[in-house]
Amino acid sequence: MKKYQFKITCWFQLICWVFILGIGCISDKSPLTSEVGNSYQEVLETQQPALPPDYDLLFIGNSLTYTNNLPKLVEMEGAKNGVSLGVHSIAKPNYAIVDHWAEGKVQMLINTGTYDYVIIQQGSSSQEEGYAMLVNEGKKYAEICESNGSELAYFMVWPSMTYYHTFDRVVQNYSSGARINNAILCPVGLEWKKYFDRTSDFSYYGPDGFHPSYKGSQVAAEVIFKSLFNVK
């Protein structure tokens, strides 16, 4: 009887060990399956990089460009319209296009032939000196863009509220600079002024009365995108 009980006990232990080993094998396979799955995803990501953008844009300007990250807003505007944009920006406080040119970095970037559009911006430029820069320095940008297959565009800005009376000169000078250098005009300042004249709502300006509010930058992004891609 004891021998019979011993056999039963042995068989029971054997069955238990088989069951435990079976679970162990299943457990061992689970991480392997997961690992293979993760590896496959990683391979897919490595072999299928993000598609290149439809167009590459280079922004050259100052704080009116980098406030609220305007280039990113233009990129987002493109995405809303089904156009993939790559954006790059060189923007420093109080810089005019002549300052960027003197440093030489913009020439190196444009000379890579990477950019479909080069968008230049400086201060309000309502005075003769600013206008001369838009025309004469703008010509240098126009020539280097033409040599590298890029289209030049002027991002027309606006005056501060303190110098609001110079608004018409700002519009005129940017328009002339773009026309003389056969460049695209992005008439952001003009659209701002039309809105102000129609509504007396100056909320496109930020708290300092010069830099744009987020709403003002959104409008700027819309105007720039529509101007570059001829969207009505």
- What is the per-residue pLDDT across 133-143, written as a single tens digit (0 to 9) for each? 999 999 999 99
**pLDDT grade for 232, boundaries at 50, 70 and 90:** confident
Q: What percent of the chain has pLDDT over 70?
A: 79
Q: Is 36 left (phi over 0), alpha (psi -120 to 50) or beta?
A: alpha
Query: 39-53, 174-188, 202-216 — which is least confidently predicted?
Result: 39-53
Sign of CA dihedral 107, 111, 114, 120: positive
Per-residue pLDDT tens over the stretch 205-224 = 999 999 999 999 999 999 99
pLDDT tens-digit profile of 109-156?
A: 999 999 999 999 999 999 999 999 999 999 999 999 999 999 999 999
Q: What single letter denotes the amino acid at residue 45?
A: E
Tens-digit pLDDT profile for residues 72-99: 999 999 999 999 999 999 999 999 999 9
Kindly state the average pLDDT of the residues 101-115.
97
Whether residue 29 is predicted with pLDDT greater than 70 in this model: the reply is no
Confidence of residue 34 (pLDDT cuts 50, 70, 90): very low
